[in-house]
Amino acid sequence: MKIVIPTLGRIHDQKTYNSLPDKWKKEVNFVVQSYEYEEMKSIYGNQVISLPSHIRTLAPTRMWIQEYFCMERYWVFDDDLNFYIKDYVNDGTRKWASVEMTDKDFDEMIEHAHDFMDKGYGHGGCASNWIMPVPPREDGSMYPFRFNFRQCTNCFFNGPSLPRIEWDRCQATEDMDGTLQYLTEGIPNVIFMRHRVNCSETNAEGGCSVYRTVEYHNESQKVFQSLWPDFVKLKEKKVPSGPWKGEIKLNVEVAWKKAYNTGIEKKKGTLDEFFI
- The DSSP 8-state label assigned to residue 208 in this structure reads G
What is the number of alpha carbons within 13 Å of residue 205 lying toward its C-beta? Answer: 4
190, 116 Cβ separation under 8 angstroms: yes
In terms of Cβ atoms closer than 10 Å to its own Cβ (0-12, 13-18, 19+), residue 237 is: exposed
Question: pTM of the entire structure?
Answer: 0.92
pLDDT at 202: 59
189, 254 Cβ separation under 8 angstroms: no
pLDDT at 118: 98
The alpha helices in the chain, defined as continuous H runs, are 15-19, 22-25, 37-44, 58-68, 103-118, 174-183, 214-227, 256-275
pLDDT at 206: 58
CA–CA gap between residue 125 and residue 15 (Å, rounded): 18
pLDDT at 203: 47
pLDDT at 145: 96
pLDDT at 208: 65
Digitized pLDDT (tens) for each residue of the chain, 276 residues in all: 999 999 999 999 999 999 999 999 999 999 999 999 999 999 999 999 999 999 999 999 999 999 999 999 999 999 999 999 999 999 999 999 999 999 999 999 999 999 999 999 999 999 999 999 999 988 878 999 999 999 999 999 999 999 999 999 999 999 999 999 999 999 999 999 999 999 976 545 655 666 779 999 999 999 999 999 999 999 999 999 888 999 999 999 999 999 999 999 998 876 555 555
2, 66 Cβ separation under 8 angstroms: no
